[in-house]
Amino acid sequence: MVGISGFKRYDRKKINHRGIIIQVYVNPDYQGKGIGQDIIKSTLDEAFKINEIEQVEIDVIANNENAEKLYKKIGFEEYGCQMNFLKLDNSYYDHKMMVIFRNDYIPS
């Protein structure tokens, strides 16, 4: 497998104008070749084909600087951070939440 991402539309009536990109992964052998950007943009292209979808979220662990940089390049903006979201052994990791709006997205 080279890479994967998924999209989930929120199904509750008051928030079904939103969705979230989940499971973004690019095999380490293929990283740095623009594949991650292509996967995310293709996912956004498909998500925004759903007329009711106005915004798409994506999450990133705060120390994953490469992913965060890529998401910002695509147009995502940070709107919040959950401190100490993950705990592995005795280390904590913050969780950044990012969003892109249909009107701000430039399709592939």
Query: Which of these, 104, 29, 106, 40, lies nearest to 68 by C-alpha position?
Result: 40
Predicted TM-score (pTM) of the model is: 0.92
pLDDT tens-digit profile of 67-105?
999 999 999 999 999 999 999 999 999 999 999 999 999
Q: What is the pLDDT of residue 8?
A: 97
The answer on pLDDT for 108 being more than 90 is no
CA distance 57 to 5: 13
Fold assignment, 3-104: Aminopeptidase (3.40.630)
φ, ψ dihedrals at 69, nearest 5°: -60, -45
